[in-house]
Structure 1
Amino acid sequence: MSTEKKIDVSIKDFFNENREELSLELVSGKEGMSNKISVVEPHHPGLAFAGFTDYVSEDAVFIMGEVENSYLKHISPARRSLNLNRMFEKRFPCMIMGNDIPVSKILKMLSNKYSIPMFSSKANTNMLFHRTNVYLSSRLAPSITFHGTLVDIYGIGVLISGKSGIGKSECALDLIDRGHRLVADDAIKIFRRGEHILMGTGIAPDSALQYHMEVRGVGILDISKIFGIRGVRLHKRIEIEINLIEWKMDTDVERVGLKEETTKILDVEIPLVKIPLIPGKNVSVIAEVVALNHLLKISGYDTAKVFNATLIKLMQEKAKKLARLDEDVE
Structure 2
Amino acid sequence: MAKVRIEDIIKKFNLELISGEEGIHRPITTSDISRPGLELAGFFNYYPADRIQLLGMTEITFCERLDPTERKIRLEKLCNDITPGIIISREMDVPEELIEASEEYSIPLMRTKMKTTRFSSHLTNYLEFKLAPTTAVHGVLVDIYGVGVLITGKSGVGKSEAALELVKRGHRLVADDCVEIRQEDTDTLVGNAPDLIEHLLEIRGLGIINVMTLFGAGAVRSHKRITLVVDLELWDQSKHYDRLGLDEEKMKIIDTELTKLTIPVRPGRNLAIIIEVAAMNFRLKRMGVNAAQQFTDRLADVIIDEGDREEM
> In structure 1, what is the equivalent of residue 289 of structure 2?
301
Asked if 1:235 is matched to 2:238, the reply is no
Following the alignment from structure 2 to structure 1, what is the Cα–Cα distance between the partners of residues 281 and 2? Answer: 37
Which amino acid in structure 2 is aligned with residue 189 of structure 1? E
> In structure 2, what is the equivalent of residue 116 of structure 1?
107
The answer as to whether partners of 2:244 and 2:292 remain within 8 angstroms in 1 is yes
Following the alignment from structure 1 to structure 2, what is the Cα–Cα distance between the partners of residues 267 and 291? Answer: 23
Deviation at 1:127, TM superposition (A): 1.1
Deviation at 1:64, TM superposition (A): 1.3
Deviation at 1:39, TM superposition (A): 0.6
1:81 is aligned, of 69, 72, 80, to: 72
2:179 is aligned, of 159, 171, 188, to: 188
Percent of residue pairs identical = 37
Following the alignment from structure 1 to structure 2, what is the Cα–Cα distance between the partners of residues 53 and 301? Answer: 56
Asked if 1:219 is matched to 2:207, the reply is yes
Q: Normalized against structure 1, the TM-score is what?
A: 0.91
Deviation at 1:55, TM superposition (A): 2.5
Asked if 1:164 is matched to 2:116, the reply is no
- Name the SS for the 1:253 alignment partner: coil
Following the alignment from structure 1 to structure 2, what is the Cα–Cα distance between the partners of residues 175 and 52? Answer: 60
> In structure 2, what is the equivalent of residue 18 of structure 1?
13
Following the alignment from structure 1 to structure 2, what is the Cα–Cα distance between the partners of residues 244 and 65? Answer: 54
The answer as to whether partners of 1:45 and 1:68 remain within 8 angstroms in 2 is yes
Which amino acid in structure 2 is aligned with residue 45 of structure 1? P
> In structure 1, what is the equivalent of residue 124 of structure 2?
133
- Name the SS for the 1:93 alignment partner: coil
> In structure 2, what is the equivalent of residue 328 of structure 1?
none
5+ residue gaps in structure 2? Answer: none
- Name the SS for the 1:150 alignment partner: strand
Deviations 1:305-325 (A, max 9, x none): 2221222122212322332x2
Asked if 1:275 is matched to 2:258, the reply is no
> In structure 1, what is the equivalent of residue 280 of structure 2?
292
> In structure 1, what is the equivalent of residue 237 of structure 2?
249
Which amino acid in structure 2 is aligned with residue 67 of structure 1? T
Following the alignment from structure 1 to structure 2, what is the Cα–Cα distance between the partners of residues 166 and 18? Answer: 46
Instruction: Extract structure 1 runs of 4+ deviating beyond 3 A.
Output: none
Deviations 1:207-251 (A, max 9, x none): 5x4111110000110001001101000000000100000001112
Following the alignment from structure 1 to structure 2, what is the Cα–Cα distance between the partners of residues 170 and 91? Answer: 50
Asked if 1:95 is matched to 2:81, the reply is no
The answer as to whether partners of 1:91 and 1:114 remain within 8 angstroms in 2 is no
Following the alignment from structure 2 to structure 1, what is the Cα–Cα distance between the partners of residues 277 and 192? Answer: 23
The answer as to whether partners of 1:97 and 1:103 remain within 8 angstroms in 2 is yes
Following the alignment from structure 2 to structure 1, what is the Cα–Cα distance between the partners of residues 128 and 137? Answer: 20
Q: CA RMSD in A?
A: 1.4
Q: Which structure 2 residues correspond to residues 143-182 of structure 1 after superposition, within 5 A?
A: 143-182=134-173
Following the alignment from structure 2 to structure 1, what is the Cα–Cα distance between the partners of residues 50 and 130? Answer: 14
Which amino acid in structure 2 is aligned with residue 133 of structure 1? T
1:69 is aligned, of 60, 83, 90, to: 60
Which amino acid in structure 1 is aligned with residue 54 of structure 2? I
Pair 93,231 (structure 1): closer, same or farther in 2 beyond 3 Å: same
> In structure 2, what is the equivalent of residue 53 of structure 1?
44
Deviation at 1:90, TM superposition (A): 4.7
Which segment is superposed worse, 230-239 or 7-16? 7-16
Deviations 1:1-33 (A, max 9, x none): xxxxx65411112222332xxxx2111111100
5+ residue gaps in structure 1? Answer: 1-5, 326-330
- State the aligned residue count: 312
> In structure 2, what is the equivalent of residue 3 of structure 1?
none
The answer as to whether partners of 1:102 and 1:120 remain within 8 angstroms in 2 is no
Following the alignment from structure 1 to structure 2, what is the Cα–Cα distance between the partners of residues 127 and 302? Answer: 44
Following the alignment from structure 1 to structure 2, what is the Cα–Cα distance between the partners of residues 91 and 50? Answer: 21
Deviation at 1:187, TM superposition (A): 1.0
The answer as to whether partners of 2:81 and 2:105 remain within 8 angstroms in 1 is no
The answer as to whether partners of 2:49 and 2:78 remain within 8 angstroms in 1 is no
Deviations 1:115-152 (A, max 9, x none): 11111111111111111111111111110111110000
Following the alignment from structure 1 to structure 2, what is the Cα–Cα distance between the partners of residues 322 and 90? Answer: 83
